[in-house]
Amino acid sequence: MSNFISRRNVLLGAMGVVALGFLGKTLLKGGAVVRKFVPSAKIAGMPINQSTGVLIDWKARAQATYDVLFDFHAKGPNLPVIWLDTEKRNYNFDMFALPAYLGDYRQNPQHQGSHESLSGIGAVLGASLTGMDMRSYQGRDFVTEILGYHQQNGIAKVLLNQTEDSGSESSFWYMIYPNIAFYAVNSLYPSEPIFDGVSREIADQFLEMITHLKSIDGKLSFEFAGYSFLKKEGVDGSWKEPDSAAGVAWIFYMAYFRFQDKKYLDGAKIALNYLEKKTVDENPFYEVLLAYGVIAAARMNSQEKTNYDVGKLFSWIFDGFSNVRAGWGIVSDSWGVYEVHGLQGSTVDSGGYAFAFNSFNMVAALAPLPIYSPEYTQEIGKWLYNVALSARLFYPDQLPAENQSQPELMKDYGGGIAYEGLRKEWAFVYPYATADSRRSTWAATDLGIYGSGLVGVMSSLISSVESSGVMVFEISKTDFFPLTPTRVLLAYNPTKTTQSYQGKEIPSGGSVLF
C-alpha cells in the first residue's frame, strides 16, 4: 500500500447526488427537533434469506488466519508473514511486523520499519476479539508491541500507519484509523500499562489539530486530504476526506468516557456539529471513518442528551452518494450467480469493488448501533446476516478458479488469508476476487493481510445459529469501552416463517434484541 492504495487516492470525480428528501422531514416538539426514523432502502432491498449464500465457519476461519499470521516459523511460499522489527524507532523494545499484502516487496524484513499498523494492530484486535490473549501469545506481548507505532518522540504524538514520523500525513484516514484501532485494543485490555497516558496524548493531539483546521475565512474545516503536525495546518490534495470529523469524534468521546474530562466531550461535539451542519447532499464518506461517527452520535444522543441526526449519517453510508468519492458505499447486488450484499467499497468501479478491510470495519463500528439506537435493530440484523454470508467470497477457497486472480492459492495458508477485494467483473468474469497489489507491482500476491487480520470481527459477533435457523449476533462484542459489561444479543430470523428464540417470536426477516 505504500502510503496509498490506488483505489484510495484516485478520486473518480463528483457524480450527481440524489437528495434524500425524507431525511429533511423533521418534527418540532417542545422546541426540539424530533426526527422520524426512516428505514434504509438499501437494506430493505437485501434478501431476507440468500438463496445462493453460504455461511462458513467464521470461528474456524479466524483460527486459520491467526495461526498463519502470528507464526514466526511458518514454512512455505511467502512465509512467514510476520517478522521482528528490531529498529526500536519509537520505544526501546523489538516489535512484531506484518505487511499490507502477502509477499509484499516493499514491506518485509529487508525493509525494517516499513510495515503497517493497519495490518499489525488490526490483527491484534481481531485475534483478541476471538478470545486469544495477545499479551502472552507464543510468549510475546503483542499488545504492548503495538506501541511501536506511537510517535512518542516525534512531531505527531499519535499512532501512525508506519513507525516513521514525517510530521505530515497526506491522508486523514491513514492517520486517524490507527488510533481508533489502538483505542479498540485498549478497550479489550483496559489495565495495560502506559496505554492511559498514550490514549490521553492521542486525544490531546487531535484536539489541538482541530483548532488548526481552518478554511480561508478562518472557520473550522475538515475539507482537507490530511494534516501536517509540523506546519499545524490542513494538507490539500486532489481529494478531500471530510469524514475525518467522524473519526476524531469517536476518539474524543471514547476519551471522555474513559477520563471524564469535559474537553474531550466538547471536542466530540465540535466534530459532530461539523457533520450535523452538512446537508444531505454534502455526503462526506471517503473510506471507513464515517461509520465511527454514526456510533459516536448514537451513543452521545443516548448518554449526553444530544440530538444528532444519526439517520443522516447512516444514510450517507448505505443509501447516499458520496460527494467526495463517487460511488463509495455499500454493495447490494447479484454478481453473476453470486449474491453480494452488505459489503463495503465502490459501487461503480468495475460495476462494484468491495474490500475485506472496509467491510469488516463497517461491521465492527455499526454492529453495536441498536444498543444506543434500538430503532436500528431490524436494519442491523438483516445487514449483518447478509455480510456474514457474502464476505466468504473474499477467500480463495470459496470461489471457482476462474473467478479469482490467483487460483493456485486456493488450498494454501489454511484458507486463512483473503483477497484484498472482490470485483463485480473483470474481463467478463463475474465476480472476480483480486487486489491492486500485483498489478501495481507491490507484492507477489493479491492476498491482503490488512483486511484478513480483522476476520475476528466476524468470528466474535456470530454467537450461534439455532436449529430453527435463527442467527444470533453478540453485538456488544465491538461496543468498545461499553457502558456496562452486559452481553447484548441480536437475533435475526432468515427463514420464511415466524420462529421463536428465548421465548420471543421473531417474524420472517425480523430482528429482536436480548
CA dist 291 and 286 (Å) reads 11
CA distances from 23 to 169, 294, 311, 316, 380 (A): 34, 15, 7, 11, 19
Crossing angle of helices 244-259 and 289-304, in 10° steps, is 40
- Map out the domains of the chain as residue ranges: 6-513
pLDDT of 21 = 36
Q: Is the pLDDT of residue 376 over 70?
A: yes
* DSSP at 141: -
Better-scored residue on pLDDT, 154 or 29:
154
**Average pLDDT of 218-240?**
97
Q: How many helices (H) and strands (E) does the chain have?
A: 16, 18
pLDDT of 28 = 43
Contact 40, 501 (CB under 8 A): no
Cα atoms in the 13 Å half-sphere on the side-chain side of 253: 29
Q: Which DSSP string do the residues of 223-268 spell out, in sequence order?
A: -SSEEETTTTEEEP-SS--TTHHHHHHHHHHHHHHHH--HHHHHHH
Cα atoms in the 13 Å half-sphere on the side-chain side of 494: 25
Q: Nearest 5°: phi and psi at 440? A: -95, 5
Structure confidence at residue 366 as a pLDDT band (50, 70, 90) = very high
**Average pLDDT of 490-502?**
98
Closest by Cα among 447, 453, 408, 450 to 103: 447
CA dist 97 and 88 (Å) reads 12
Structure confidence at residue 34 as a pLDDT band (50, 70, 90) = confident
Here the cell at position 211 is: 483548532
CA dist 113 and 123 (Å) reads 17
Structure confidence at residue 32 as a pLDDT band (50, 70, 90) = low
Structure confidence at residue 380 as a pLDDT band (50, 70, 90) = very high
Contacts of 262 (CB under 8 A, 6+ apart): 256
Here the cell at position 256 is: 471522555
Structure confidence at residue 17 as a pLDDT band (50, 70, 90) = very low
pLDDT of 165 = 79
Contact 506, 499 (CB under 8 A): yes
Q: What's the pLDDT tens digit per position in 414-457?
A: 999 999 999 999 999 999 999 999 999 999 999 999 999 999 99
Q: Which DSSP string do the residues of 315-342 spell out, in sequence order?
A: HHHHTS--SSSTTEEEEEEEETTEEEEE
pLDDT of 18 = 31
Q: Nearest 5°: phi and psi at 334? A: -110, 125
Q: Say what percent of the chain tops pLDDT 90.
A: 91
Q: Is the pLDDT of residue 145 over 90?
A: yes
Structure confidence at residue 384 as a pLDDT band (50, 70, 90) = very high
The number of beta carbons lying within 10 Å of the beta carbon of residue 233 is 15
CA dist 121 and 3 (Å) reads 17
Q: What is the average pLDDT value for the chain, to the nearest integer? A: 93
Q: What's the pLDDT tens digit per position in 456-479?
A: 999 999 999 999 999 999 999 999
Q: Nearest 5°: phi and psi at 323? A: -85, -10
Q: What's the pLDDT tens digit per position in 65-105?
A: 999 999 999 999 999 999 999 999 999 999 999 999 999 99
Structure confidence at residue 112 as a pLDDT band (50, 70, 90) = confident
Structure confidence at residue 169 as a pLDDT band (50, 70, 90) = confident
Structure confidence at residue 225 as a pLDDT band (50, 70, 90) = very high
**Average pLDDT of 394-418?**
97
pLDDT of 24 = 39
Q: Nearest 5°: phi and psi at 311? A: -60, -40
pLDDT of 167 = 65
Q: Which helix (H) or strand (E) holds 208?
A: helix 195-212
Place of cell 481481531: 126
Q: Is the pLDDT of residue 20 over 90?
A: no
CATH number for the region 6-513 comes to 1.50.10.20
Q: Is the pLDDT of residue 13 over 60?
A: no
CA dist 267 and 220 (Å) reads 12
Q: Say what percent of the chain tops pLDDT 70.
A: 93
Q: What's the pLDDT tens digit per position in 309-340?
A: 999 999 999 999 999 999 999 999 999 999 99
